[in-house]
């Protein structure tokens, strides 16, 4: 019988790519999610019955243990960018991560991969970054042989970074951002998945691996690259911190007084604190080189999924060529 891996958060942005790679490698995959009926898109990644979404609440010991039963390996991809209701940073990214690791150790699971983030720091101003660091500590305390992945901002067809800002260009000549000078090292989602699979199936030294792509650029420069791909001219404006802080406070307040009916996916006060810091691989950190992976460049992937934001969508190149021909006549 083929081996079984339980992937917590396996229907999400990063998780689905790990699911696909593990299924292709011949593993049975149990996808642990809050809403299995919304995770059916992962089933075709394998043959019938190979990939199965199952319900799990990572805030509950019994729920976590039930979906881990019989698993040879475990991956935790669960994370939140904004606190809504009971899904706080502490409950999900610290206590939830520790719970998965503790139960994995109790069950004798062979391999554990935990997806964290660059910037995890118990001394950080951001609660998000603090919770990521606490989660890592709890994972290693319970499961010392765990592999921890810290990616920079992740890009790919389903990302909430380039897709979100590309969509904003449709509404006016100005593209406002916060923390324009902060540096990022964008990493392709499937490269992160490949790193996770290497930790599950290979003889990889346990520890923390920081994952960044081949380029380091400021937030503003990344937006200029995006604009070039979608063939739009927009003025990228890095908002003064005081203005961004007022906006973030307003969005957070709207979420609070609406009791979560409005979810702040625009800019939170905690995200603004994170944007004060660079999001790049630390000097001397283990990363893709130690895993034998050559990371994919940003420019080779962005056009594959941002074309829909071009003025004429998939026909934009054709329309541009036609205009050039008419101009030559």
What pLDDT digit, counting tens, does each position of 212-237 carry? 999 999 999 999 999 999 999 999 99
Q: Residue 238: beta bridge partners?
A: 177
Please give the pLDDT value at position 327: 60
Please give the pLDDT value at position 129: 97
Residue 315 — very low, low, confident or very high, per pLDDT cuts 50/70/90?
confident
The whole-chain average pLDDT of the chain stands at 95
Q: What is the dihedral angle through the alpha carbons of 299, 25, 15, 54, rounded to the nearest 10 degrees?
A: 160
User: Is the pTM for the entire model greater than 0.75?
Assistant: yes
Look at residue 329 and tell me whether its pLDDT is greater than 60: no
Please give the class, per CATH, of domain 4-155+186-212+280-295. Answer: alpha beta
| pLDDT tens sequence across 139-148 | 999 999 999 9
| pLDDT tens sequence across 150-207 | 999 999 999 999 999 999 999 999 999 999 999 999 999 999 999 999 999 988 899 9
Could you state, in order of their start, the residue ranges of all structural domains in the chain? 4-155+186-212+280-295
């Amino acid at each position: 019988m083929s081996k079984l891996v339980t992937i917590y958060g396996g229907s999400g942005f990063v998780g689905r790519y790990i699911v696909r790679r593990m299924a292709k490698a011949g593993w049975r995959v149990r996808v642990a999610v809050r809403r299995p009926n919304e995770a059916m898109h992962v089933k075709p990644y394998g043959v019938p019955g190979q990939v199965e979404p199952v319900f799990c609440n990572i805030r509950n010991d019994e729920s976590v243990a039930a979906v881990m039963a019989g698993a040879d390996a475990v991956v935790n991809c669960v994370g939140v960018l904004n606190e809504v209701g009971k899904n706080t940073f502490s409950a999900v990214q610290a206590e939830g991560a520790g719970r998965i690791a503790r139960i994995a150790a109790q069950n004798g699971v062979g391999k554990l991969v935990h997806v964290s983030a660059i910037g995890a720091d118990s001394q950080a101003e951001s609660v998000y970054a603090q919770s990521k660091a606490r989660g890592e500590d709890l994972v290693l305390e319970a499961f010392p042989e765990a592999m921890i992945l810290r990616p920079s901002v992740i890009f790919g067809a389903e990302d909430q970074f380039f897709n979100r800002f590309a969509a904003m260009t449709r509404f006016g000549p100005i593209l406002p951002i916060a923390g324009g000078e902060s540096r990022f090292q964008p990493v392709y989602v499937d490269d992160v998945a490949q790193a996770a699979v290497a930790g599950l199936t290979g003889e990889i030294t346990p520890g923390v691996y920081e994952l960044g792509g081949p380029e380091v650029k400021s937030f503003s420069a990344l937006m200029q690259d995006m604009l070039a791909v979608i063939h739009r001219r927009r003025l990228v404006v890095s908002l003064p911190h005081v203005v961004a802080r007022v906006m973030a406070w307003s969005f957070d307040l709207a979420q609070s007084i609406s009791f979560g009916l409005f979810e702040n996916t625009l800019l939170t006060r905690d995200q603004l604190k994170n944007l004060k810091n660079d999001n790049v691989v630390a000097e001397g950190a283990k990363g893709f080189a130690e895993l034998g992976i050559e990371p994919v460049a940003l420019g080779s992937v962005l056009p594959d999924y941002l074309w829909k934001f071009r003025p004429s969508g998939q026909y934009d190149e054709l329309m541009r060529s036609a205009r050039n021909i008419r101009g030559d006549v």
